[in-house]
Chain A
């Protein structure tokens, strides 16, 4: 078991709603962003002088720009339906981690400066001035929200705390109080092209190595092309896929699927990152800047289709926002969804009978599936509502013999966050991450006990990284988390050379 300087929550047989323990997480603060990281994003380097006024002005600006913020700050009736829905509350017991508790940190300031009731009777409606303490609470607790939207499922008005967190982070960035983890990463994307700061040549190197590995393994020449102009498909995937375990096994899986499909494809060194952390900090401008790289790469390489790899929030930005941020995509082939998820791509091939699997290759595993929040509650796959639940499960069932779902209350749109989303995947938030993972791991533990499940599949780079890190705290193994295309990769039966030549031919033909 990993060492922790905090109490790792116990896993119980039945999920329990804890009693509130005010202030227990008040000590948990993530590292602040330094001036050099702030600059790259167009934010002031440190707390500006008249920060209070600037923050209120920014809030006013956002209220005029985002209907969600305006309606959500007005509409909460304090019914309490969301109070026990946040995994961070369940894991930490801090009432400011209840969705409504978190919203109220912003709401009480909104009330004071933007509503009549708060202006004239602040005590009555719980309105307060924006003091240093309040700002401290904002920084603290808005970075204990993974923007997973579980709360929005159960709120009678659909109040989405993720929207509130994003607005709060945007306000803080504008007065010079940014979070190091997110902002440093966005800066790297601008400078080098991906979150990990992996330069082009290193990337090409890695992928060549990958080709050799797969050839050694299978005897088939599966290609991992980069910057190949005229390829049909541009694959955009989280940079974790380039080397971290288990992510890279997923990348190998995509390569094998493309190989079997006989399509030409490529990655781009310029847009070598699917993740868009602009969303985490609620910054439309930064989200747009990051998204536009993909447009530029698609135009430069002359591709016809865009496919996204396994990453939850990248898929949310891709599915829900890419058209808005970087569209219109009229230069792509309109017969395919724009963009398309790798699971949709693989599922289509399965439907057409183009992929052959040897399921027994995964017989060493009994699987369950973790719906990642951003896929489950903020995107779709296929053309029917709920496709994001059914398609990944259909693929898993196609490639393995033993599959069980976790408890109904904890999957699909009621899924529990891994605990590391929304810009929390940083070591300085380890306590929050471990505690926030508790509800998910409790449900996992159930199927381990009852169905002898050994592995949990996920299609999100953050989930995979987070579980690799936190499972050991609960006495489980880090490699119990796998990707869907890792399973696909294990089971897929490759068909030798022909399609290889075809694909490179067609690539040259279109070039």
Chain B
């Protein structure tokens, strides 16, 4: 079975590279692109601290979405919060020794997994039943939802139906840190789960999943409302003045 283990090892190296490299590239690109005009959506905070608070509310509570659509808010908050718990739970497969908070979060991670699936299912249902949302959905929007649900379901299956040898999975990933390939248990559900996760990592920097870093660079949200007090001018606009 080491053939499959090799393939998965390379797959995860590749996926990690694409994910980190791709996202880093995008973040750099966003950071380097100037924002020539002050365009915060007002009323906006007039201080940096205020902006940090506004962004925190957006990231943690999805404040704007809450004002925009309650159903979408409920489902996507469930999904994202569930995903957070699941991710925290999974940390124990990647670090040793496992920190106490991560140990404590384990049972909640399971609920997180369920919340994730319910949230995703809700979002997907909207794509079929709300005519406006159906109109704007492209095939990739459906596929990403399908992918995430499949990841969640295969994950939960391993918890409740066909268990896998966690110790060896952990060994496999620990091995990757040292560029050593240990044998991965050849359970189909595990392999499918990992394959889908790798796929998600690979498409991340090329898909709408970019909304994650994008949020932090959104000028309507991250700018301080002080244009009268402070002159705000982009390098390319400054050059116009020298002409």
Q: Which residue numbers of A lie inside 8 Å of B, CB to CB? A: 17, 19-20, 22, 63-68, 70-72, 74-85, 95, 98, 100-101, 104, 115-117, 121, 123-126, 149, 152-160, 163, 284-285, 288, 319-321, 323-324, 327-328, 337-339, 376-380, 383-386, 388-389, 413-414
Across the interface, B41 reaches (CB within 8 A) one of A19, A66, A95, A377, namely: A377
B41 touches A149 (CB 8 A): yes
* Cβ–Cβ < 8 Å partners of A158 in chain B: 41, 58, 64, 218-221
4 tightest Cβ-Cβ pairs between the two chains A and B:
A154-B68, A75-B214, A81-B68, A158-B220
A327 to B228, CA, bound (A): 10
Is the CB–CB distance between B220 and A152 below 8 Å? Answer: yes
Q: Say yes or no: A20-B131 contact (C-beta < 8 A), given A71-B30, A74-B214, A76-B211.
A: yes
B242 at interface, CB cutoff 8 A: no
For the complex formed, measure the closest distance between the CB of B40 and the CB atoms of chain A, giving whole angstroms: 8
Which of B85-93, B133-141, B157-165 lies at the interface with chain A?
B133-141
Among B42, B140, B219, the residue within 8 A (CB) of A117 is B140
Cross-chain contact A124 with B35 (CB below 8 angstroms):
no
How far apart are the CA atoms of A321 and B68 in the complex, in Å? Answer: 28
When C-beta atoms are compared, the residue in chain A nearest to B138 turns out to be A126
Closest CB in chain B relative to A322 CB, distance in Å: 8
Cβ contact of A80, chosen from B38, B136, B139, B228, cutoff 8 A: B136
Closest A residue by C-beta to B41: A152
Question: Can you offer 10 A-B residue contacts whose CB atoms are under 8 A?
Answer: A68-B220, A81-B69, A83-B133, A124-B140, A125-B139, A155-B68, A385-B42, A385-B44, A388-B42, A413-B41
B residues near A64, Cβ cutoff 8 Å: 33
CB neighbours (8 Å) of A337 from chain B are 228
Partner of A76, one of B133, B208, B236: B208
Measured as residues with beta carbon below 8 angstroms from the partner, the interface class of chain B is 35 or more
Question: Which residue of chain A lies nearest to B135 when distances are taken between CB atoms in the complex?
Answer: A95
Contact A70-B233, Cβ < 8 Å, known A155-B68, A160-B39? no
Could you list 11 further interchain pairs (A-B, Cβ under 8 angstroms) beyond the known A77-B141, A413-B41? Answer: A67-B30, A78-B138, A80-B130, A95-B136, A98-B136, A125-B138, A284-B237, A323-B231, A324-B227, A324-B232, A385-B43
Q: Give every chain A residue within 8 A of B203 (Cβ-Cβ).
A: 117
Q: Which of B33, B64, B225 contacts A380 (CB 8 A)?
A: B225
For residue B160, give the distance in angstroms from its CB to the closest CB of chain A: 30
Q: Mark B18-62, 1 if CB is under 8 A from A, else 0.
A: 000000001001100111111101111110001000000010001
Q: Is the CB–CB distance between B139 and A124 below 8 Å? A: yes
- Looking at B210, B230, B240, the one whose CB has the most chain A CB atoms below 10 A away is B210
Distance, CA A156 to CA B211, complexed state (A): 9
In the bound complex, residues from chain B placing their C-beta under 8 Å from that of A383 are 46
In the complex the two chains form, is A80's CB within 8 Å of B126's CB? yes
Known: A65-B34, A154-B65, A413-B43. A72 touches B218 (CB 8 A): yes
Residues of B close to A413: CB separation below 8 A: 41-43
B76 within 8 A of A: yes
Measured CB to CB, the closest approach of chain B to A385, in angstroms, equals: 4
